Amino acid sequence: MHRLLALFATAVLLPAQDGATRENWPHYGGQTSAWRYSALDQVNASNVNRLTPVWTFQTGDSDGGLQATPIVVDGVMYLSTSHNRIYAIDAVTGGELWSYHFPLPKGFTIFYGPWNRGVAVADGRVFLGTLDNHVVALDAKNGRELWKVNVEDANQCGCNITAAPLVVKGKVVVGVTGGDSAHRGYVNAFDAKTGRHLWRFWTIPGPGEKGHETWTGDSWKFGGGATWMTGSYDAELNLTYWSVGNPAADFWGGNRKGDNLYTDSVVALDLDTGKLKWHHQQVPHDVWDWDTAYENVLLDLPVNGRTRKLLLNVNKGGYTFVVDRANGEFVAAWPLVNNLNWITGVGPKGELLGRNEPVVGKSKVICPSIGGGRSWNQGAWSPKTGMFYSTGIEWCEDVVAVPETPKEGQVYFGGTFKLTHKPLKGDAGGHLGAYDPISGKRAWIYNYKYPLLASVLATAGDLVFTGDADGFFFALDAKSGRKLWSFQTGSGHRGSSITYAVKGRQYVATPTGWGSAVSGLLPQLWPETERLRSGSAVFVFALPEPSK
């Protein structure tokens, strides 16, 4: 009993806004506030060196690696893999409870890769977005299909779903890929019980709508604005926050003059209606493929002596933006990487200074590279240390902008790039750092020879977990960054580790399996990484059980 108490002891110390997970890992980002932080502390800095594998689960499909965040609810792990497969696994033994496969139409071309980044689980149902643009609901007990809906013909739109849905209050909120295709993005909400469509928010306003004037000609129809990562939700404000990706064509904006709303923006939508409450555009008229695409971390912190409801978002361009999540007001911006030359800085109102844009027909060095100052793998916020933990990547590219005519649903990139240029500062590589979320002041940094492409997990045990390209899953001291433990899982890390507890025992689980679009870029800079082995498995660890 005292063990259980210890497990929850830190919960009492947490501030009013509680985004920590405990026994369950119920949502993609932990809770809907996307902290990726667990209040569990049975595994902690003093005993993590005794962490031992307890089971592993091989999915058998290593195409594209394993990029998912497992979801754990009441002792059952729900795992999605490439090619629309879901496994329900006993979270204590690793035994398979049921599996599900959503077959693709014969001869289907998979855009944006075969991977899936996670399912959502709520009210006894499991929800999946598919590679051919369906949303599917299953019975969590047995994997029986309950409903499915075809959002749009994937062959026509050149878009599909790879991100986990967000499910709150009986609504399944789902984004879409397609930002590098001639496509117009959106966010959809479906009724969790019946599958009926509830609302759609177009990320690019149509004729007559506010913001439409930020596009020229027909460019709004093909302007990208994908919502390819999972959104967040604030129950008190009843707002769901979604990141809207880059405008298309990615590197050339000659036929879409204007700010191109709401691309490269965080949008706050009323959960019940899908109506826009506010937006904050990070990069007006993006011509670098900088997606505002990643997680929206909801945290309450004092700013100038007043506690504010904040939202932190890492932009692919390597800048982190912090805004007030009640009204979208700009609060702060800070760089995550040293190699950053597309702007000279961010002004006091969030405005970009000294834009350095790609040029038509001429090669130009841009830092970071298209792979991002960070990839989509998420950071973690620990209210206990007051630090935001995030990976970052030092690399640059040579880029040439190319005018292009959009063709519906087809690749619409507007340029070419190569990751051949040496970084302007230091060596190319990756790092994991601990940052003050508002000032960006770095407390420590852990360097690695290649980009770190797995999500970060923080726990109340003063631990930070992530994995590297070589296959090591490891724990750092959350306060100092010192490496405390590591384990070789046999393939590189591109997914998101989690922690959960069953019957008083804390488990740490990590997907392993190298793959993805960005990992495929690495050989351009590090030829030897072409030989990194793929894989697809979940490894689960715990402290040894006391001898009986």
Partner 1 sequence: MRPWLLIALLPSAFAQPGGALGTPASIARGDKLFAQGCSVGYCHGAGGSAARSPRLRGRSFERDYLIRVIRNGIPNTAMPAWGDRLTDADINDLSDYIQSLANAPVNVAASPATEAAATPATEKPVDTPDEHRRGRDLFFDLTRESRCSVCHRLNGYGSIVGPDITKVSGLKVTDGPQVLRYGRPRSVRTFVLKDGDRFAAVSVERTASFTRAYDLSATPPVLRNLLNTDVQSIQRQSNWRHGNAVRGYSLEDLQSIWNYVRYAAAKK
Give the residue numbers marked as catalytic. 289
From candidates 111, 321, 487, 541, binder to partner 1 by CB under 8 A:
111
Is residue 395 part of the contact set for partner 1 (CB under 8 A)?
A: no
- Smaller CB separation from partner 1, 257 or 407: 407
- CA 184/CA 262 separation, integer angstroms: 11
Partnered with residue 310 across adjacent β-strands are 299, 324
300, 16 in Cβ contact below 8 A?
yes
- Smaller CB separation from partner 1, 119 or 151: 151
Strand order, beta sheet including 71-73: 71-73, 76-81, 85-90, 96-101
Minimum CB distance to partner 1, residue 228 (Å):
12
Q: Which stretch binds partner 1 (CB under 8 A): 278-286, 342-350, 375-383, 416-424?
A: 416-424
Is residue 287 part of the contact set for partner 1 (CB under 8 A)?
A: no
Please list every residue from 48 through 107 that binds partner 1, using CB under 8 A.
Answer: 83, 104, 106-107
392, 375 in Cβ contact below 8 A?
no
- Smaller CB separation from partner 1, 306 or 362: 362
451, 395 in Cβ contact below 8 A?
yes
- CA 305/CA 341 separation, integer angstroms: 33
Binding mask 151-180 for partner 1 (x = CB under 8 A): xxx-xxx----------------------x
Is residue 363 part of the contact set for partner 1 (CB under 8 A)?
A: yes
- CA 179/CA 268 separation, integer angstroms: 20
Q: Would you state the structure tokens that stand for residue 439, as one six-digit string?
A: 């000032």
Minimum CB distance to partner 1, residue 182 (Å):
10
**Residue 292 to residues 168, 266, 309, 423: CA-CA distances in angstroms?**
23, 7, 20, 23
Picking from 284, 277, 293, 287, the residue whose alpha carbon sits closest to that of residue 238 is: 277
Please list every residue from 194 through 233 that binds partner 1, using CB under 8 A.
Answer: 194-198, 200, 206, 221
Is residue 451 part of the contact set for partner 1 (CB under 8 A)?
A: no
Minimum CB distance to partner 1, residue 191 (Å):
8
Q: Would you state the structure tokens that stand for residue 364, as one six-digit string?
A: 């130009």
- Smaller CB separation from partner 1, 235 or 360: 360
- Smaller CB separation from partner 1, 344 or 410: 410
Is residue 109 part of the contact set for partner 1 (CB under 8 A)?
A: yes
Q: Is 470 exposed, middle or buried (0-12, 13-18, 19+ CB in 10 A)?
A: middle
Is residue 488 part of the contact set for partner 1 (CB under 8 A)?
A: no
Minimum CB distance to partner 1, residue 362 (Å):
8
Q: Using CA atoms of 298, 343, 278, 154 in order, give the dihedral in degrees to the nearest 10.
A: -90
219, 443 in Cβ contact below 8 A?
no
Strand order, beta sheet including 442-448: 380-382, 387-394, 429-435, 442-448
Picking from 151, 111, 115, the residue whose alpha carbon sits closest to that of residue 133 is: 151
Is residue 150 part of the contact set for partner 1 (CB under 8 A)?
A: yes
Minimum CB distance to partner 1, residue 492 (Å):
15
Q: Is 157 exposed, middle or buried (0-12, 13-18, 19+ CB in 10 A)?
A: buried
Is residue 415 part of the contact set for partner 1 (CB under 8 A)?
A: yes
- Smaller CB separation from partner 1, 30 or 373: 373
- Smaller CB separation from partner 1, 408 or 477: 408
Q: Count residues contacting partner 1 (CB under 8 A)? A: 64
**Structural element, H or E, at residue 3:** helix 2-8
- Smaller CB separation from partner 1, 334 or 526: 526
Is residue 417 part of the contact set for partner 1 (CB under 8 A)?
A: yes
Q: Would you state the structure tokens that stand for residue 539, as one six-digit string?
A: 């490894």
Partnered with residue 307 across adjacent β-strands are 302
Is residue 400 part of the contact set for partner 1 (CB under 8 A)?
A: yes
Binding mask 418-447 for partner 1 (x = CB under 8 A): x-x---------------------------
Q: Would you state the structure tokens that stand for residue 250, as one six-digit string?
A: 């990615």
From candidates 3, 141, 144, 533, binder to partner 1 by CB under 8 A:
144
Q: Would you state the structure tokens that stand for residue 58, as one six-digit string?
A: 């091989």
Is residue 480 part of the contact set for partner 1 (CB under 8 A)?
A: no
Residues near 405 by Cβ (< 8 Å), separated by ≥ 6? none
Please list every residue from 292 through 311 that binds partner 1, using CB under 8 A.
Answer: none
Binding residues (CB under 8 A) for partner 1: these are 83, 104, 106-114, 144-153, 155-157, 180, 183-184, 194-198, 200, 206, 221, 360-361, 363, 398-400, 402-405, 407-408, 410-411, 413, 415-418, 420, 516-518, 520-521, 523-524, 527, 530
